[in-house]
Amino acid sequence: MHQELLKRAYDPIDFQQKGHQLIDDLTLHLTDKLEEKSDKAIHWIAPEDELDFWKEFLKNGDERELFQEITKRTTYVHHPHYIGHQVCAPAPITGLTGLISSLLNNGTAVYEMGMSSNAIERVVTDFICTKIGYNENSGGFLTSGGTLANLTALLSARKAILKEDVWMDGTTQKLGIMVSEEAHYCVDRAARIMGLGNQGIIKIPVTPGFQMNTDLLEEKYTEAKQKGIEIFAIVGSAPSTATGIFDNLKAIAHFASKAKIWFHVDGAHGGAGIFSKKYRNTLSGIEQADSVVIDGHKMMMMPAITTALLFKNRLHSNVTFSQQADYLLTESEHEDWYNSGKRTFECTKTMMGIHWFTLLKVYGDELFEANVTRLYDMGIAFSQIIQSDSHFELAVAPMSNIVCFRYLEEGLDTSQLNSLNAKIRQTLLEDGEFYIVQTKLRGIQYMRVTVMNPFTNTTHFVTLLNKIKAIAQSI
């Protein structure tokens, strides 16, 4: 009986039939969304109702409808009206590499359990390092997300900069990092996991344009030192998540080198700009960073979750989790780059390198250039439309594909405008024709758009703004 069940679960013919059907269904889904044959980016359902649906489906649902139901009940990232969070519409071929990864299950930490994936990962990360502008001492690896990559980079930084070995001996010393108050919350979280606490997270205020105010670095550093806090790293955002504004990486690099601390660039979103001739300047100074994070699943058309963590000097990455103190010498002689688990936080991971490698092999790195350039161009085009319409106001002139704006109405004060803008965004969500998100900056409620689909164009933006005006008038 049990053996029969197991046989059924591993039946290759069943896999083939379901697989063919699924590819056909997903192709229809793609056509439907990419070509806007259906008008919604999301069919909004309240969480409790969705929960009830799946409870009921497990009991009484028709198994043959399972994949279709899952597909239908998602946010349609391939629809050009999906302009919300920083999650990409994966290039369809990476759906296939995702399938290979899942079925072959060879992404593991040791070479023997992932020969191609470990070698491919090396090829991919070496290539990204050259694009950053690093020399032959550089290197890196792929890991599960920007959040984990930022934590890993800060652990490497602590090991590299401090004289004491906190990994081995723990510490009672007060340690700290410096980071913009606008940085992604995961940097704060990483610092807390490392035991730095409130006092160890030195938040640098931003300029009126939401960029880390680098004029304050000396002062903040000295202030922390006087409190007995030893700062070992500074993090630049490229860009910060809420506003899409890039920190001045050159100025941060200059400060880091003077203070002899680690310079980390959180380029989870915009690190991919290294591929764009037009927008490479947003990342000026990135080549001086000790470590850089770039997400594949944001600006690089890959499925979640795959992140590159790159080091100017790869030896540092070999020893993040090392128990040996005299590591730099001993390890450099026989670096086993092919056992990626030595350097990653996670043990098992997916064969994530094959997404990067396949896009490079099939389309070339021009694909990344085309995508980043198009998306940033559209972010800026959207901001220009907003600026030309007196019903709307930008939070800040965008530097990327992230645009924050709000609807204006005469005679309303800030709090009334805040609640109006929040209502508009909720109405949009429940309506589903467009998917956008929201954020609060300095007490002001904004709607927030991230252009993630290369087929979203200015006509879509005009339609969205007209829709917002109509909603505002009906509220």
Ligand X SMILES: *Cc1c(COP(=O)(O)O)cnc(C)c1O
- Amino acid identity at 70: I
Contacts to ligand X from residues 71-130, by CB under 6 A: 86
- Tell me whether residue 318 or residue 320 sits nearer to ligand X (CB atom): 320
Task: Select 269 or 448, whichever has its Cβ closest to ligand X.
Answer: 269
Q: Which of 80, 114, 145, 285 binds ligand X (CB under 6 A)?
A: 145
Query: Is residue 268 near ligand X by the rule CB under 6 A?
Result: yes
CA pair distance 100, 164, nearest whole angstrom: 44
What b/e readout covers 222-242, taking b as 16+ CB neighbours within 10 angstroms?
Answer: eebeeeebbbbbbbbbbbbbb
Size, binding site for ligand X by CB under 6 A: 13
Give the nearer residue to ligand X in terms of CB position, either 145 or 303: 145
Instruction: Please state whether 244 falls in left (phi above 0), alpha (psi between -120 and 50) or beta.
Output: left
Tell me the one-letter amino acid at 87: V
Quick one: tokens of 192? 């807390």
Coil/strand/helix, residue 320 = coil
Give the integer Cα–Cα distance in Å for 255 and 258: 5
The secondary structure element, H or E, covering residue 22 is: helix 12-34
Least distance (Å) between residue 244 CB and ligand X: 9
Rule CB under 6 A: choose which of 182, 188, 266, 369 binds ligand X.
266
* Rounded-to-integer distance, Cα 178 and Cα 224, Å: 10
In this chain, which of 94, 108, 147, 213 binds ligand X, going by CB under 6 A? Answer: 147
Minimum distance from residue 345 beta carbon to ligand X (Å): 12
Site for ligand X in 221-250 (CB under 6 A): 237, 241
DSSP 289: -
Among 83, 128, 186, 308, binds ligand X (CB under 6 A): 186
Query: Is residue 143 involved in binding ligand X (CB under 6 A)?
Result: no
Distances from the Cα of 195 to the Cαs of 71, 78, 167, 170, in angstroms?
41, 40, 12, 10
Query: Whose Cβ is closer to ligand X: residue 154's or residue 420's?
Result: 154
- The residue among 148 and 468 lying less far from ligand X, judged by its C-beta, is 148
Region near ligand X per CB under 6 A, out of 200-208, 261-269, 350-358, 383-391: 261-269
Nearest to ligand X of 10, 185 (CB atom): 185
Interface stretch with ligand X, choices 49-57, 139-147, 158-166, 415-423 (CB under 6 A): 139-147
Q: How far is the CB of 65 from ligand X (least distance, A)?
A: 31
Select the residue interacting with ligand X from 196, 295, 382, 465 (CB under 6 A): 295
Please tell me whether the peptide bond between 305 and the residue prior to it is cis, using omega within 30 degrees of 0: yes
Strand-pair partners of 139:
311
Contact between 450 and ligand X per CB under 6 A: no
Question: Counting Cβ atoms within 10 Å, is residue 22 exposed (0-12), middle (13-18) or buried (19+)?
Answer: middle
CB of 451 to ligand X, least distance (A): 15
> With binding defined as CB under 6 A, does residue 307 bind ligand X?
yes
Indicate the residue among 147 and 213 with the shorter CB distance to ligand X. 147
Give the x/- contact pattern for ligand X in 17-46, rule: CB under 6 A: ------------------------------
- In 3D, which of 319, 333, 329 has the Cα closest to residue 162? 319
CA dihedral 174, 262, 247, 241 (to 10 degrees): -70
**CB 268 → ligand X: shortest distance, Å?**
4
As given in the structure block, the two tokens for residue 100 are 């290979």
* Nearest-angstrom CA–CA distance, 427 and 433: 10
Kindly list the residues in this chain that would bind ligand X in the complex (CB under 6 A): 86, 145-147, 184, 186, 237, 241, 266, 268-269, 295, 307
